Structure 1
Amino acid sequence: MAAEVADVLDAQREEERGKAIRALLRYPLLTPEAPDFRLVRKHQGWLTDWFAREAGWQLHADTAVARLRKVPSRHVDGTRAAQTKGKVAFSRRRYVLTCLALAALERADSQVTLGWLAERMLAFAGDPDLLASGMVFTLGTREERTDLATVAGLLIGIGVLNKVAGDEAAYVSGSGDALYDVNRRVLAVLPVTRRGPSMVEAHDLYERLAAIIEELVPDTEDGRNRLIRHSLTRRLLDDPVLYYRELTEAERGYLERQRGPLLKRLTEATGLVAEVRSEGIALLDPTRETTDLGMPEEGTDGHATLLLAEYLANHLRTYPGTAVEADQATSEMERLAVQHRTLWRKNASVPELTAAAIHRLVSLGLIRLQADTIVPLPALARFGFADPVIIGKKDA
Structure 2
Amino acid sequence: MSDALNDVLDTQRDEERRKAVRALLRSPLLTPRGRQAAEYALVRRHAGVLAEWFARETGWSLHTDSGVARLRKTPGRLDDGSRAATARSKGPFSRRRYVLACLALAALERSESQVTLGWLVDRVMAFAQDEELTGAGIVFALDKRDERADLVAVAQLLLEIGVLVKVAGDEQSFVNRSGDALYDVDRRVLSVLLATRRGPSMVAAAQDGPQDRPQEILRDRLRAITEELTPDTGDGRNRQIRHTISRRLLDDPVLYYADLTTDERTYLERQRGPLLKRLTEATGFVAEVRAEGIALLDPTREATDLGMPDEGTDGHATLLLAEFLSDRLRAGLDTVGVEAAEQHMKKLIGAHKAHWRKSAKDPGAERELTALALRRLAALGLIALSGQTVRPLPALARFGYAPAKITGKNRV
TM-score by length of 2: 0.93
Residue 37 of structure 1, CA deviation: 0.6
- Structure-to-structure mapping, 1:98-137, within 5 angstroms: 98-137=101-140
* Residue deviations 1:331-366 (CA, integer Å, cap 9, x gap): 221222222222222321111111111111111111
- AA partner of residue 239 (structure 1): D
Q: CA deviation at 1:371?
A: 4.2
More off after superposition, 158-167 vs 338-347: 338-347
Equivalent residues in 2 for 1:293-372 (5 A)?
293-319=306-332, 322-348=334-360, 349-372=365-388
Separation of aligned partners in 1, 2:296 and 2:145: 44
RMSD: 1.5
Q: CA deviation at 1:312?
A: 1.4
Matched residues in 1 for 2:121 and 2:67: separation?
27
Greater alpha carbon shift after TM alignment, 356-365 vs 236-245: 356-365
Cα distance, 1:102 vs structure 2: 0.5
> What is aligned with 1:262?
275
Counterpart-to-counterpart distance in 2, 1:109 and 1:208: 32
2:50 to 17, 37, 47: 47
> How does 1:237-248 map onto structure 2 within 5 Å?
237-248=250-261
Cα deviation, 1:273-293, whole Å, max 9, x if unaligned, reads: 000001000000001111211
Cα deviation 1:76-97 (Å, max 9, x = unaligned): 2111111111342111111111
> What is the CA distance between 1:392 and its match in structure 2?
4.5
Q: Which moved further from structure 2: 384-393 or 96-105?
A: 384-393
Letter aligned with residue 92 of structure 1 = R
Q: Against the structure 1 CA distance between its residues 371 and 109, is the aligned structure 2 distance closer, same or farther, given a 3 Å change threshold?
A: closer
Whether contact under 8 Å (2:43, 2:69) holds in the other structure is yes
Question: Using the alignment, how far apart are the partners of 1:311 and 1:196 within structure 2?
Answer: 44
- Check the 8 A contact 2:142/2:148 in 1, yes or no: yes
User: Given that residues 382 and 394 in structure 2 are in contact (C-alpha distance below 8 angstroms), is that contact kept between their aligned partners in structure 1?
Assistant: yes
1:29-66, Cα deviation, whole Å (9 max, x unpaired): 00002131110000000000000000000000111000
Q: Say whether the 8 Å CA contact 2:343–2:366 is kept in structure 1.
A: no
User: Which moves more between the two structures, 89-98 or 195-204?
Assistant: 195-204
Q: CA offsets, 1:176-197, max 9 Å, x none?
A: 2221111100000000122222
Q: What is the Cα deviation at residue 395 of structure 1?
A: 8.2
Q: Distance in 1 between matches of 2:406 and 2:166?
A: 62
The secondary structure found in structure 2 opposite 1:388 is: coil
Are 2:403 and 1:387 equivalent residues in the alignment? Answer: yes
One-letter amino acid of the counterpart of residue 240, structure 1 = P
Greater Cα offset, 337-346 or 102-111: 337-346
Distance in 1, Cα, partners of 2:171 & 2:289: 48
Give the SS at the match of 1:187: helix
Count of residue pairs the alignment pairs up = 395
1:285 corresponding residue in structure 2: 298
**Shift in alpha-carbon separation, 1:210–1:111, aligned structure 2, 3 A:** same
Amino acid at match of 1:128: E
User: What per-residue deviation string (whole Å, max 9, x for no partner) do you get for residues 88-122 of structure 1?
Assistant: 21111111111111101111111111122122112
**In structure 1, how many angstroms separate the alpha carbons of the residues matched to 2:120 and 2:13?**
44
In 2, Cα distance between equivalents of 1:173 and 1:207: 41
Secondary structure in structure 2 of the residue aligned to 1:137: coil
Mapped contact 2:54–2:62 kept (Cα < 8 A): yes
Task: State TM-score, norm by structure 1.
Answer: 0.96
Q: Secondary structure at the match of 1:32?
A: coil
**68-77 or 343-352: which moved more?**
343-352
Question: Where does residue 234 of structure 2 map in the other structure?
Answer: 221
Which residue is equivalent to 1:30?
30
The 1:351/1:230 distance shift into structure 2, 3 A limit, reads same
Any conservation in 1 of the 2:85–2:92 contact (CA below 8 Å)?
yes
* Structure 1 residue corresponding to 2:248, chosen from 231, 235, 251: 235
How far, CA to CA, are the matches of 1:81 and 1:234 in structure 2?
A: 18
1: CA distance, partners of 2:395 / 2:225: 33
- Asked if the contact 2:288–2:296 (Cα under 8 Å) also holds between the matched residues in 1, the reply is yes
Instruction: Give the whole-Å Cα distance in 2 for the aligned partners of 1:140 and 1:333.
Output: 35
Distance 2:340 2:119 in 1: 50
Residues 195 and 381 of structure 1, relative CA distance in 2, 3 Å threshold: same
Q: Which letter does structure 2 place at the counterpart of 1:323?
A: T
State the SS of the aligned residue for 1:36: helix
The letter for the 1-side match of 2:346 is: E
What are the within-5 Å matches in structure 2 for residues 146-225 of structure 1? 146-201=149-204, 202-203=207-208, 204-225=217-238
- Unaligned 5+ runs, structure 2: 209-216
Distance, in Å, in 2 between the alignment partners of 1:50 and 1:199 is 30
Identify if the C-alpha distance between structure 1 residues 360 and 395 changes in structure 2 by more than 3 Å, giving closer, same or farther.
closer
Counterpart in the other structure of 2:213: none
Contact kept in structure 1, 2:88 and 2:153, CA below 8 Å: no
Q: 337-346 or 65-74: which moved more?
A: 337-346
Q: Give unpaired runs (5+ residues) of structure 1.
A: none
